[in-house]
Structure formats: structure tokens, C-alpha cells
Amino acid sequence: GNSVTQMEGPVTLSEEAFLTINCTYTATGYPSLFWYVQYPGEGLQLLLKATKADDKGSNKGFEATYRKETTSFHLEKGSVQVSDSAVYFCALRPSDGQNFVFGPGTRLSVLP
Amino acid sequence: DTEVTQTPKHLVMGMTNKKSLKCEQHMGHRAMYWYKQKAKKPPELMFVYSYEKLSINESVPSRFSPECPNSSLLNLHLHALQPEDSALYLCASSTTDYNEQFFGPGTRLTVL
């Protein structure tokens, strides 16, 4: 079946540190991949996406590259800010058009 | 208009009450979703409406009753809920089934 695995949190970083949140997936075919962010007390916001292998999604300084060979879609940011503190969900949309599959989420805390 | 709105933001209800959650989008999307999210967990899909017809019901108890009056509106009618139904209820929409989903801010429901 389809599944998404994310690194366990919480992740605590100092401001301006480099961020990596690992995401790997299991799916048949060529799923679309997404990162969503959820700030405290809010709904989910689409952060970035990639729809085919080697695509790089980017937004607000965050980047992730769709790696078919390693079935990964790791989220990176060069310099985090306190305002990036949130929960980050990796998700996939299977190529057969079925339900989104969300990872468990990774909580990020950025300290000033 | 590029957002999904939900009302109310917070709701407290007793186990014998009847209440409704409302979701609205004006992006011309033809698929709308209800999710339930417990603390520190990813969203769980409850219902999917496609072109105003219920297409997915993820084995949700009958005390939750969805309704899609038109392509812009989605309601979730609540009756005889249990305390374990307390959660954040998220609405989302997409252009068609399972394309990238845009989420509303959610309704925080507490059942006493």
C-alpha cells in the first residue's frame, strides 16, 4: 500500500540554522509529492509540491527534490527563522488518483 | 478569492446537541473534503464530495452527516457526538478529485 514516513520530531534548531526534514514514501507508479505546513491553531497550508521525478519544489526559502531512486522528498531550508516554527507534513497523491496519504508530521521549534 | 473559510472557529457542544459546521470556497473547485485531526496527528479523511455528490465515506459513524448544498458550500451536521469526537475539523477543496488540496483554518470542536 501507499505510505509516507517522516523523521521523528520534535526538531529544535537555533535561528539561522540549516533545516532538513526527511521524508520517504512507498507507492506504486509516480505519485505527486507535497509538503504542507501547519502553524499553531491553524489549518494546513501547501508549502511546495513536485509532480514528477527530479522536479524541485520551492517556496519561501524551502526546497524539496523528488528523488525516485531513493523514494524521498526531503525538505530543506538554508536559514530558519522563529516564524518557521510549525508542524510539517509530507504527503503523497497516488498516481491512481486515490486518497492523499499524509506522513505523521514533524514538529519544528526554532529558538531565537 | 483563493481561500477556504470555515465557521465557527470554535464549538463546544453537549452529547445531546445538534450543531453544524460550515465550509465555503469560491475558487470554482469541484471537490471538497472533510478531515478530522486529533492533536499531534495528521488529518484523517472523513468524506469526499465530487461535483456535489458524495464519493467517499471513510466508514464514519452516522452521527456525522455531510451535506453539499452547492458547489461552493459544504456542511457537516453533528448529532449525539461523543467526547472522543473532540478534534479539529478541517475542510479542504481541490479543482477535481485528489489534486492539490487547499485547507481551511478548521473548527475546533469540544464535546462535553
Contacts of A32 in chain B (CB under 8 A): 100
pLDDT, tens digit (0-9, with 9 covering 90-100), for A1-40: 899 999 878 999 999 999 999 999 999 888 999 999 999 9
**What region, left, alpha or beta, does residue A71 occupy, with left being phi > 0 and alpha being psi -120 to 50 degrees?**
left
Q: Over the Cα atoms of chain A, what is R_g?
A: 13
Does the CB of A39 have a partner CB in chain B at under 8 Å? no
Helix (H, G, I), strand (E, B) or coil at B35: strand
Q: Quick check: B69 pLDDT over 70?
A: yes
Q: Under an 8 A CB cutoff, do B105 and A42 touch?
A: yes
Q: What residue in B sits closest to A98 (Cα-Cα)?
A: B98
pLDDT digits (tens, 9 = 90+) for A52-92: 999 999 999 999 999 999 999 999 999 999 999 999 999 99
Q: Is A103 left (phi over 0), alpha (psi -120 to 50) or beta?
A: beta
Nearest chain A alpha carbon to B99: A93
Hey, are the CB atoms on B40 and A43 less than 8 Å from each other?
no
Over the range B4-33, which residues count as b (16 or more CB within 10 Å of their CB) and which as e? bebeeeebebeeeeebebbbbbeeebbbbb
- Interface residue A105 vs chain B (CB under 8 A): yes
Chain B touched by A43 (CB under 8 Å): yes
CB contact under 8 A, B100 and A45: no
**What's the pLDDT band for B56 if we cut at 50, 70, 90?**
confident
Which position has the grid cell 504542507? A36
pLDDT class of B96 with cuts at 50, 70, 90: confident
